[in-house]
A and B are shown apart, each in its own frame.
Chain A
């Protein structure tokens, strides 16, 4: 089957997106993690732009611009500022070691491709596989959230999860209605601010950003 060039390009971007999530899963340094997150945002903006161009959906240009602004510039800048202020650069401790996490990640990718298979078959060639990739990156981000100990890494994982969802929204469907996208962007921005407030509160209270201190509330 002949696939138009633009779609091949979107598919390429999708696979790079998946690759970046794997890279994030394996990354130990918080600083590199944030940079990877910014790259992920850039890929997302680019793929949104390509979809906007090929389908001539004008509102997608706005959402591409919004992604570029929010996820490549504002959020990474905020996170960089935060870790400078809190003075944490190093050591992302993982609860599971990296190779095990990667293996679990591969299993998740297979699972999500299987789950999305019936849907991919329905879409007319355009978005084949993209829903699977989006679902895989959502689940991989979830895995990252579960296996990391530091509050900052959990937040980066949360934001990367949001990116995976956004990719599903723009590439697999041709973008959600603009009101919804704006609402989602606002929520993400506010959430990041609240995370920032939290970091300071947590540090003030526990003298560290290690969430293992926060396992006191349990049912005995």
Chain B
């Protein structure tokens, strides 16, 4: 039964990628893209309900493993991929109308969009530490041509940087995986099972600590490049700013989470082997550095998408920091913050996408008075910004509050640093968004109506979760946090 459900989850986007490779140039390709993403989302809901009901399980001869932790990311990934496909339908039509994209480019976009979803879902559900690596690299490969979709010099440069930096980063992660296998082989014997996470998890106490220590450093640096941790982040703002907005939304809202999931899987093993807080300390260090550096860079940005890309670095840093602290409350808070960040940041990118289309520029000084021309885009951007900056009653406030109170309790010296960074980020982002939303307008109307349902759907969800967390969800997250320790 679980085999079948998993097959549906992974099969639908793969099939979608193939269908769109064939029919991506047809006028109804956008609808097909949304339909496939919608089916993937339904499959993920079915799988989620089952896993929460019946607990962790393996599938396909133990090659896949699903527990409360990764099923939460599966559901989130499928949901945001679905809403982004809804957003990209009118967005890409407008881009085509403006002459920025040709039909063949859209063809590439649609089929790669589905394959990208497929690779992320494989990376999340696989039980094999080697396949996680393969799927992460494949996720880079499917998105690299999307970053350079506009074929402008800047977008080519961004894509090249993305390709090379993530390629190098991920190569280091492979070295980490090899070291992990080197340690596992001596306990589990050679062959197929020595890289299976469930087997490794059972024998983690016997794995050689010196090897695992080194392996984790490589894995963290490697996958950390993908998460966008400072100082390995320099591809991220470029790729987010130069790629099409739907791609920025899924890169920021989803891919970064998937990389973090791979790090967390490794952390559980390393913690079990070392019995110290080595992995956690390393993650806290990287996380704290990312929060501070990103906050300082925020105020210097001129490009709206670049600014929100730095905000993603800041939030991923905060999540990494919270996971690094460990313990049930911090891990719970980190997962909550992952959810909130994905929903809010993708909503912001949807609103930003339409705002940029209206003004014809990504330079913030030329975007003015959104509220006058399109109150919905204006409100979407304003509310999204409030939410991401951690204003109550939005859900980001709740998760940030949890993270900071835990930090105050466990590592008091980090609290002033975190609070100062969040304060700087608040001032920088709020100061820039305010004149864009209010003030005199320079805006022209769009040829197609914008897609605003996804924006408000996400923001309403974030608002509801900020006000009231259903016991079902809280219980689910608590179980997942317990699995991560």
A→B interface (CB under 8 Å): 57, 115, 118-119, 122-123, 131, 134-135, 138, 142, 145, 151, 154, 158, 161-162, 165, 168-169, 172-180, 183-184, 186-187, 190-191, 194-195, 197-198, 201-202, 205-206, 211, 213-217, 219-220
Q: How far is the CB of A150 from chain B (nearest CB, A)?
A: 12
Q: Are A177 and B191 in contact (CB under 8 A)?
A: yes
**Which chain B residues lie closer than 8 Å to A205 at the CB level?**
151-153, 156
Please tell me if B474 contacts chain A, counting CB pairs below 8 Å.
Answer: no
Q: Are A176 and B181 in contact (CB under 8 A)?
A: yes
Q: Which of A119, A183, A197, A217 contacts B161 (CB 8 A)?
A: A217
The 29 listed contacts between A and B (C-beta, < 8 Å) are A119-B214, A134-B175, A145-B164, A158-B168, A158-B171, A161-B171, A165-B178, A168-B178, A169-B178, A173-B182, A173-B185, A176-B130, A176-B181, A177-B128, A179-B131, A180-B130, A180-B131, A183-B130, A186-B134, A191-B141, A191-B163, A194-B163, A205-B156, A206-B156, A214-B153, A214-B161, A217-B238, A219-B300, A220-B300
Q: Which of A168, A187, A220 contacts B134 (CB 8 A)?
A: A187
Contact A197 B157, CB 8 Å, known A118-B210, A168-B178, A176-B195: no
Q: Which of B153, B168, B192 contacts A177 (CB 8 A)?
A: B192
Chain B: interface size category: 35 or more
CA gap between A216 and B158 in the complex, in Å: 10
Please tell me if B297 contacts chain A, counting CB pairs below 8 Å.
Answer: yes
**Which chain B residues lie closer than 8 Å to A138 at the CB level?**
171-172, 175
**Which chain A residues lie closer than 8 Å to B137 at the CB level?**
184, 187, 191
Q: Closest chain A residue to B310 by CB distance?
A: A219
Q: Closest chain B residue to A142 by CB distance?
A: B168
B→A interface (CB under 8 Å): 63, 128, 130-131, 133-134, 137-138, 141, 144-145, 148, 151-154, 156-161, 163-164, 167-168, 171-172, 174-175, 177-179, 181-182, 185, 190-192, 194-195, 208, 210-211, 214, 237-238, 241-242, 297, 300-302, 306
**Which chain B residues lie closer than 8 Å to A184 at the CB level?**
130, 133-134, 137, 174
**Which chain A residues lie closer than 8 Å to B134 at the CB level?**
180, 183-184, 186-187
**Which chain A residues lie closer than 8 Å to B144 at the CB level?**
194
Contact A173 B178, CB 8 Å, known A119-B214, A191-B167, A202-B160: yes
CA gap between A205 and B242 in the complex, in Å: 15
Q: Closest chain A residue to B185 by CB distance?
A: A173
Q: Closest chain B residue to A169 by CB distance?
A: B178
**Which chain A residues lie closer than 8 Å to B194 at the CB level?**
177
CA gap between A195 and B300 in the complex, in Å: 33
Contact A217 B158, CB 8 Å, known A161-B168, A190-B141: yes
**Which chain A residues lie closer than 8 Å to B131 at the CB level?**
179-180, 183
Q: Are B175 and A214 in contact (CB under 8 A)?
A: no
Q: Are A135 and B175 in contact (CB under 8 A)?
A: yes
**Which chain B residues lie closer than 8 Å to A123 at the CB level?**
182
Q: Closest chain A residue to B172 by CB distance?
A: A138
Q: How far is the CB of A29 from chain B (nearest CB, A)?
A: 22
Of listed B152, B153, B238, residue having the most chain A CB within 10 A: B153
**Which chain A residues lie closer than 8 Å to B237 at the CB level?**
219
Q: Are A173 and B214 in contact (CB under 8 A)?
A: no
Q: How far is the CB of B20 from chain A (nearest CB, A)?
A: 18
Q: Closest chain B residue to A202 by CB distance?
A: B156
Q: Are A198 and B154 in contact (CB under 8 A)?
A: no
Q: How far is the CB of A214 from chain B (nearest CB, A)?
A: 4
**Which chain A residues lie closer than 8 Å to B163 at the CB level?**
191, 194-195, 198
**Which chain B residues lie closer than 8 Å to A169 at the CB level?**
178, 181
